[in-house]
Amino acid sequence: MEKKQNKGIKEAIRKFLVSLKRRPQIIPGFFLVISFLYYSLNLTSVSDTLSMIQGSMMGFCEFLTMLCSILVFVCFLNSYPRRQKPHIGFIILTYIMLAVIVVADITFRSRILTAVTRENNAIQITGYITKAYSMLYAHIILVIISAVLNATMPFYGKLLKKINTSIEVEGNTEMDAIDLSED
């Protein structure tokens, strides 16, 4: 029974590797999903920070980050259609949106820092402000990782193709050559 379970696990890993070989864009797409979920699930602390500080362009930065986080999926999925060459225009749009997300997060973080460190009428640091400040830093890192994985996909895609995922079937080595010539 344990041998069958090991075979099932090995087969599942093999199938996963085969799908990665065929579509290596799964890896940067996965990191895009992780970065979107991380930002979305921590949006409450960003919104609470916005309502507390109300700095210039903070609401617009939050809006841009959320909008581009959603639209980057559309561009990314259209960049790599099935069984066709990648669309360079959509790849460029993907990078533009990732850059907008990073700039908006950096602007939001700088507005938080300005509001907390100003001499007159400084904002009191609360738990959600520190959480939003550190969360935005982690979000920037996740977005940059996604961009780097997307840029290096041709390199690790070639490495993935070198992985042997073929199945050894008993009796295939003992087969004779088939004569295809006509009699």
Q: Is 95 inside any structural domain?
A: yes
Q: Is 102 inside any structural domain?
A: yes
Q: Is 172 inside any structural domain?
A: no
**How confident is the model over 116-126, as pLDDT tens digits?**
888 887 778 88
pLDDT exceeds 80 at position 91: yes
Q: Is 182 inside any structural domain?
A: no
Number of domains in the chain: 1
**How confident is the model over 22-57, as pLDDT tens digits?**
888 889 999 999 999 999 999 999 998 888 888 888
Residue 141: phi, psi to the nearest 5?
-65, -45
Distance separating alpha carbons of residues 18 and 151, to the nearest angstrom: 21
**How confident is the model over 126-178, as pLDDT tens digits?**
888 889 999 999 999 999 999 999 999 989 888 888 877 777 666 556 656 66
Q: Is 67 inside any structural domain?
A: yes
In which residue are the tokens 């992985």 written? 163
- The pLDDT, as a whole number, for residue 134 is 92
